[in-house]
Amino acid sequence: MALREALAPSGWRAALALAAGEIERARRLPPEPHLARRSLIALPLAYPLFLLQRLADAATGAAAPLTLANGLRDAGVFVIGWAGFALLSRRLAQALGREALWPRYLVLWNWCNFIQYVLLLAGTLPALLGLPPMVGETAALVSFFWAIWVEWLATRVGLALSPLPAALITLLDLLFGFILASAAGLLG
């Protein structure tokens, strides 16, 4: 698949619309399996942002220095977390009677993950620039909650859920990532 085809506007533009609060535009995204497959390009595109975030965390003292061993472990957690929750979300969609909508959800979720890394990385810039701690902490907090809100919207719109079930799935994704990262931390 060509990169141009994978970056076709429907998926990432719908996710950008969600990040800006334009819900109707994302609702019009069709639940097509080919769009879900194409949206998987978001994973390798997000990985450099993940690495930059990891380096920024190490530079600000929020994480241990990035070594080869830590980097390999983090790469594994990144891929397993992304792919693992995507597979788990399909089971959740089936259990909720929303399997037909899962391809739309996956498109929005994949691209919103990319947007989340952009937001989280932007949230570290004030600390990296040496701005006062209050500015850095506020930026980090705002970017973190914006990232969670974007995922919640992707879940709500993608699977056509009410707010609470969408929040529970979003929380499950956060918990899944936390458990993976904690388990990997115990190994390293």
pLDDT tens digits along 19-75: 898 899 889 999 999 999 999 999 999 999 999 998 888 888 777 787 888 888 889
Q: Express each pLDDT in 103-160 by its tens digit.
A: 999 999 999 999 999 999 999 999 889 999 999 999 999 999 999 999 999 999 999 9
Asked if the model's pLDDT at residue 173 lies above 70, the reply is yes
Residue 89, C-beta contacts closer than 8 angstroms, at least 6 positions apart? 102, 105, 106, 109, 169, 173
- Per the structure, how many domains does the chain have? 1
| The pTM of the whole model exceeds 0.85 | yes
Confidence of residue 185 (pLDDT cuts 50, 70, 90): confident
- What's the domain range around 124? 3-187
Cα–Cα distance, 118 to 120 (Å, whole number) = 6
Q: What pLDDT shows up at residue 61?
A: 78
Supply the DSSP symbol for 29. Answer: S
List the structure tokens of 58: 């190490």
- Whose tokens are 């996956």? That residue is 106
Q: What pLDDT shows up at residue 71?
A: 83
* 71 compared with 170, residue with greater pLDDT: 170
CA 106 vs CA 1, 14, 66, 84, 140: distances in Å: 18, 12, 30, 12, 26
Closest CA to 170 of 152, 156, 158: 152
